[in-house]
Amino acid sequence: MHPPYSELKKGTFLIASPNINNGIFFRCVVLLCEHTPLGSFGLIVNKPLEVNTEHSLLELTSLANSSIQMRVGGPNQPNQIIMLQNFGTNADSSLEVCEGVYLNLELETLQNEPEEMRDTRSSILYFGYGGWNEGALEREFLNGNWFLYPASNHHVFETSPKLLWQTLLREMGGKYITLSMIPEDLDLN
C-alpha cells in the first residue's frame, strides 16, 4: 500500500517502481526539491555522470575540493548545473530540501571552501533536473510509478548511488524487499 498522498512533498525520495522499465528514470531515486500545485522539481540522486568531464570544461578550474561528485540530475536542461551540499550558504541562495541537504545556487562556495572544512562538507553537482507540470507527478504517483520515502542527508551524500535504489526498498520492508531483488535485466532471470 502506498503512503498517503500528503507525503508527496519537498524532502521526499521518489523511488522508481518496476512500472518504469526503461529510460533515465529506470531504477532511479529522485530527491523532490519542490512540490506545489503548479508543478514539481527534483534531482536524480543515484545516476553518476558516466563521461570523463574535466573541471576546466565546466569553468570550475579553481575548485578547492577535488572530490566533488558529478551526477545526472534529470532530463530537463542537461546543461544547467545544480548543486546539493550538506550546508547552507545564506537564506538568499540556499534552500533546505530536507535536514542537512541544501540546494545552493552559488557555485563560488566550491572555489572558496576552507581547507579545514573539506572533510566535513559534501558537494554534488547535478547536470539537469526532473520537472513535472501541474498534476503530472500526482498522476504518475497514483498510477504506481513511484514509491515514496523520507529523504535523508545520509542517503544523498553517503549511500553509494549504485546501491541507493535497492537500499531504500529494503529499508521500506515488506513487499519492497522482494522488489529490491528483481534483476535489472529480466532476461537473466
b/e burial code for range 162-181 (CB count within 10 A of at least 16 → b): eebbbbbbeebeeebeebbe
User: Mind listing the pLDDT tens digit for each residue in 121-170?
Assistant: 889 999 999 999 999 999 999 999 999 999 999 999 999 999 999 999 99
Residue 61, pLDDT above cutoff 50: no
Range of the domain at 143: 5-181
Type and span of the H or E element at 150: strand 146-150
Residue 187 falls inside a structural domain: no
Type and span of the H or E element at 154: helix 153-157
Residue 92 has what pLDDT?
A: 77
Residue 189 falls inside a structural domain: no
Residue 115, pLDDT above cutoff 90: no
Contact 180, 170 (CB under 8 A): yes
Q: Measured between alpha carbons, how far is 176 from 1 in angstroms, rounded to an integer?
A: 10
Residue 188 falls inside a structural domain: no
CATH number at residue 160: 3.40.1740.10
Coil vs helix vs strand at 80:
strand
Cβ within 8 Å of residue 159, ≥6 positions away? 167
How is residue 22 written as a grid cell? 526503461
